[in-house]
Structure 1
């Protein structure tokens, strides 16, 4: 009798177990999908392929944070925008096509993220003033000669500066990043100052565009920035925050 009951209970357990296992598996949350990033480089005065196409792409794709496509051809931007979460502009070559310019503004108007790296914070295009006024909130028209300076984090609580040292040192071009009083407001997260100067300029900023998350990173001339941990952390944080993650 007991043997018969045991067999019945065992048989029922075997029937229930697969369903239980299926339900448990179904409740395991899926892994976060990589952030889809289009990184646009190209232009003059920088080794775009080495530091943006190779180093920055590797930095962003580490541990599956992002899936990055790099292009040095601005004519490809238009077709790629519908497929991405964050546009990372690191170019100083012209974006001449009117439809592409409009699409970039439509992209941020739709709430998508924008990260502007080093060359893209320059006043590159006199025939496109809206870019600097609205998307950058100003820009740079000059910089110190390449050399050493300190970066100081002024807002340690923002997600973009999470795990970034309060101060770090590097060799780079210290951009004279200046806000445009008539442009989008900017929030300064970190500043840069050379040892032989009293002038302090924004180095990491948030551009207060109404419908989008925009980050400006003035650092990034060569290996002395792209290969150090503070820069890499800022870049990863910026893309993550711009994507709303």
Structure 2
């Protein structure tokens, strides 16, 4: 557990003057050291924390840069990006929507609990691409309770169709009912022991009779959770349909 996380939990146990001063100074410093894209957002935008980092994806380019710009357009959101998973708990009190895109470990048990508490408090959670994988065998509660399943495989990178199956949901508003892109078609499968999902869009490869959930919401009793399986590279992040889905997802998760 790093010094930021220690200070966060110390301040929760006892509001000592040194701990409070540390948190205050850390907050001021974070305004200068987080993603530069955050400085361009509206002061009234949805406070969004993007968490990236891990393997097989260019998290800085497609999430820290591209998705942050998509969300901050027209003042929809103000974005902070981190690839230090130990810092998540520190930033959550200043966050409306947590956008997990990482496949690197979230190892600190207290950070894991802070994420669960965040959702239980009615906050928003968006799960992007790599975060929908079965990444962490030592944290089964993540896939069971937050993802309600997950993916253990995908088609080779290539072209496939996405079909909107629920055009009346706010997340799919203004999205073409069918579009094509190149990406990794995730084999997301629902865990019957989880809370279940509401499928908003499915993905299927040409010539295949099998389709998989590609955009969906989780049946959470408290917070709002959206899964967005698309997002490997520019073919997704630069696509207007993807950008609209992402903006809609963050807006819906924030209850805006």
In structure 2, what is the Cα distance between the partners aligned to 1:196 and 1:148?
A: 12
1:241 aligns with 2:252: yes
What's the TM-score, normalizing by structure 2? 0.83
In structure 1, what is the Cα distance between the partners aligned to 2:194 and 2:178?
A: 29
In structure 2, what is the Cα distance between the partners aligned to 1:184 and 1:128?
A: 17
1:83 aligns with 2:94: yes
1:191 aligns with 2:239: no
Report how far residue 196 of structure 1 moved: 2.9
Whether the 8 Å contact between 2:217 and 2:227 is mirrored in structure 1 is yes
Report how far residue 199 of structure 1 moved: 1.1
In structure 1, what is the Cα distance between the partners aligned to 2:82 and 2:179?
A: 30
In structure 2, what is the Cα distance between the partners aligned to 1:143 and 1:192?
A: 11
In structure 2, what is the Cα distance between the partners aligned to 1:94 and 1:196?
A: 36
Q: 2:226 aligns with which of 215, 219, 222?
A: 215
Q: 2:115 aligns with which of 101, 104, 113?
A: 104
What is the root-mean-square deviation in Å for CA atoms of aligned residues?
1.0
1:153 aligns with 2:164: yes
Structure 1 unmatched runs, 5+: 1-30
1:139 aligns with 2:150: yes
1:15 maps to what in 2?
none
- What is the DSSP-based 3-state SS (H/G/I as helix, E as strand, rest coil) of the residue aligned with 1:75? helix
- What is the DSSP-based 3-state SS (H/G/I as helix, E as strand, rest coil) of the residue aligned with 2:127? strand
- Equivalent residue runs for 1:1-245 within 5 Å: 33-245=44-256
2:18 maps to what in 1?
none
Report how far residue 32 of structure 1 moved: 8.5
For each residue in 1:87-132, what CA deviation from the matched residue of structure 2 results, as whole angstroms up to 9, or x when unmatched? 0000000000000000000000000000000000000000000000
In structure 2, what is the Cα distance between the partners aligned to 1:131 and 1:121?
A: 10
Q: Rg bigger for which structure?
A: 1
Structure 2 unmatched runs, 5+: 1-41
In structure 1, what is the Cα distance between the partners aligned to 2:242 and 2:226?
A: 13
Report how far residue 53 of structure 1 moved: 0.6
Moved over 6 A (4+): none
Whether the 8 Å contact between 2:67 and 2:237 is mirrored in structure 1 is yes
